[in-house]
A and B are shown apart, each in its own frame.
Chain A
Amino acid sequence: MRKVVGLILLLVLVAFLVWGVLLIHPFGYPPSDMDDYIIDNAQEQTANNNVVASVVFDYRGFDTLGEATILFTAVTGVLLLLRTLKRREESS
């Protein structure tokens, strides 16, 4: 019974994912001016050969700041949680 339910859920998930993949836009569509602008101007404006790095750290720097904040929060949470557990064990 559990196997049948699991199989049905798996098939539903696979169908959902395939549906999502089929609905995806073709590569490079819709065309936008932003990527052309970045490709044309990144080397002059950021003095950077690696355009990906210039997008990540310069044009979309805010995004990287959020990413760094996520990592910081995760590390803080793990250290805090493990320390709390240790103290509770000592007190009990």
Chain B
Amino acid sequence: MLSKIVRTVANQLIVFILIFGLYVIAHGHLTPGGGFQGGAVIVSGVVMLLVAFSSKELKKSLRERVLSIMESTGALIFVALAFAGIGTAFFYNLLVGTPIFGRIPAPGPNPGDFWTGGVIPLMNLAVGLKVVAGLSAVVLALALFASGEEVEE
């Protein structure tokens, strides 16, 4: 556990890191980024908390069992979305043209509309959930192992 200054700054900063990560994940179909990148941003915030506080403190709020379930859920949603278009082809974008994320943008450069992209925003969310949970679990497990704590499940 580091000094009180570091802990306070980390406490304030984690909000902005989480917001930025969620922004990168949610706007993966409009701006550079996506599920993997935004998830990595959020996990960098988790690493910051892990450095500022000890792994013992973080273990109280982040349980590896829950993280494992979250990761599996993200992977299942991703594969289910891929299989949803199996009527035409694997990974077929079946939401194009429907009211849910289905607006087709004008060809060429345009300012962008959030409700576009078909299944791609949903896949970004699923992959983001998976990356956040998976990498957090790895980092937490390594930190707990290094500090000699017990890794449960």
Residues of A within 8 A of B (CB): 43-50, 52-54, 56-58, 61-62, 64-65, 67-68, 71-72, 74-75, 78-79, 82-83, 85-86
Give the A-binding residues of B (Cβ under 8 A).
Answer: 28-32, 34, 36, 64, 68, 71, 75, 78-79, 82, 90-91, 93, 95-97, 101-108, 110, 112-113, 116-120, 123-124, 127, 130-131, 134-135, 137-138, 141-142, 144-145, 150-151, 153
Which 5 A-B pairs rank lowest in CB-CB distance, beginning with the nearest?
A61-B91, A75-B134, A47-B104, A47-B96, A57-B120
| Other 6 A-B pairs with CB < 8 A, given A47-B116, A68-B78, A72-B75 | A43-B104, A43-B105, A43-B107, A46-B117, A79-B137, A85-B145
Q: Is the CB of A45 within 8 A of B93?
A: yes
Chain B residues within an 8 Å CB radius of A50: 28-32, 117
